[in-house]
């Protein structure tokens, strides 16, 4: 089983055109993401799947690997699937879907997300089969609990996702209740076989309401393993987010060389 990380990266964005090439501490965001993913110990190869020559060239400039995919892909998942097809990946190869707008991702969290496939995937016990894994972080900044931009996740006792939402979940009835709320970080791992299943599923009702693609998996009866990580991974949604990211980058206690 190969373990391949793919970074879907498109140039056009309604709120932030050219976001992958936005400079953060003097380097394009795609470079920060690519270099950090390369430091994950379990990842064998890292590829940027893009629809734009400028992003392709930025990756090539640092000696990275990139391939051109169609501009007609409806989502990052479709772009990922096209890249896997072009790379001729096998059905049992593990694909790690990396969010290209999270330049402070910690490589160790990627390894954490991969680990369930190495320890629990048992064809003789269907209850232990992992179809898809993702990351969650216990929210520290209370503003993220109510901000719809930050997606929340709840999970069962075996840490399989029950629901993802832009709303606060769970929502305590009593103000005296004390409990943790978890933020979904948006990274995924799945074998190519399941990626093909995922992309062929029809859009779900809840997915359409919340505008969260991962809900499609749950709505059609599939499972998502939630791995809790101690490493946050803030996003860049708008140009004004860059100053905040640069400050966090400068304040990293254990800097990751990028």
Mind listing the pLDDT tens digit for each residue in 209-253? 999 999 999 999 999 999 999 999 999 999 999 999 999 999 875
Question: How many angstroms separate the CA atoms of 184 and 151, rounded?
Answer: 5
Q: What is the pTM of this model?
A: 0.92
pLDDT at residue number 205: 96
Query: What is the total residue count of the chain?
Result: 258
Which pLDDT tens digit goes with each residue over 47-67? 999 999 999 999 999 999 999
Lookup result for tokens 């048992």: 122
**Confidence bin at 123 (pLDDT 50/70/90):** low
pLDDT at residue number 256: 56
Which pLDDT tens digit goes with each residue over 132-154? 999 999 999 999 999 999 999 99
The neighbouring-strand residues paired with 5 are 46, 96
Give the number of other CB atoms < 10 A from CB of residue 143. 8
Question: How many angstroms separate the CA atoms of 188 and 153, rounded?
Answer: 14
pLDDT at residue number 124: 53
pLDDT at residue number 258: 42
User: Region 89-116: what's the mean pLDDT?
Assistant: 96
User: Residues 6 or more apart from 201 whose CB is under 8 A from it?
Assistant: 216, 217, 220
User: Residues 6 or more apart from 29 whose CB is under 8 A from it?
Assistant: 19, 20, 21, 22, 23, 100, 101, 103, 236
| Contact (Cβ atoms closer than 8 angstroms) between residue 33 and residue 98 | yes
pLDDT at residue number 72: 85
- Which of 125 and 1 is assigned the larger pLDDT? 1
Nearest partner of 30 among 6, 55, 52, judged by Cα? 55
CATH of 3-251, one of 3.90.550.10, 3.90.226.10, 3.90.1150.10, 3.40.190.10: 3.90.550.10
Nearest partner of 216 among 226, 204, 227, judged by Cα? 204
Instruction: Say yes or no to pLDDT of 254 above 60.
Output: no
For the chain, give every domain's residue range: 3-251
Q: Is 221 helix (H, G, I), strand (E, B) or coil?
A: coil
pLDDT at residue number 252: 79
């Amino acid at each position: 089983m190969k373990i391949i990380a793919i970074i879907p990266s498109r140039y056009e964005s309604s709120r932030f055109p050219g976001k992958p090439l936005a400079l953060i501490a003097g380097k394009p965001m795609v470079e920060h993401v690519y270099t950090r993913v390369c430091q994950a110990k379990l990842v064998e190869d890292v590829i940027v799947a893009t629809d734009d020559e400028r992003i392709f060239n930025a990756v090539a400039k640092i000696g990275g690997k990139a391939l051109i995919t169609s501009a007609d892909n409806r989502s990052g998942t479709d772009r990922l699937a096209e890249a896997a097809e072009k790379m001729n990946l096998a059905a049992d190869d593990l694909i790690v879907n990396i969010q290209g707008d999270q330049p402070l991702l910690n490589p160790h969290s990627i390894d954490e997300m991969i680990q369930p496939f190495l320890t629990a995937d048992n064809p003789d016990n269907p209850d232990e089969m992992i179809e898809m894994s993702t990351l969650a972080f216990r929210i520290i900044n209370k503003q993220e609990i109510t901000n719809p931009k930050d997606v929340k996740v709840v999970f069962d006792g075996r840490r399989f996702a029950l629901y993802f939402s832009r709303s606060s979940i769970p929502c305590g009835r009593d103000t005296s209740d004390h409990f943790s709320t978890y933020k979904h970080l948006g990274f995924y791992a799945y074998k190519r076989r399941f990626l093909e299943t995922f992309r062929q599923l029809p859009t779900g009702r809840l997915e359409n309401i919340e505008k969260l693609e991962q809900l499609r998996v749950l709505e059609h009866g599939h499972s998502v393993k939630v791995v809790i990580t101690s490493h946050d991974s803030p996003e860049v949604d708008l140009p004004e987010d860059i100053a905040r990211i640069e400050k966090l980058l400068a304040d990293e206690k254990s800097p990751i060389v990028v």
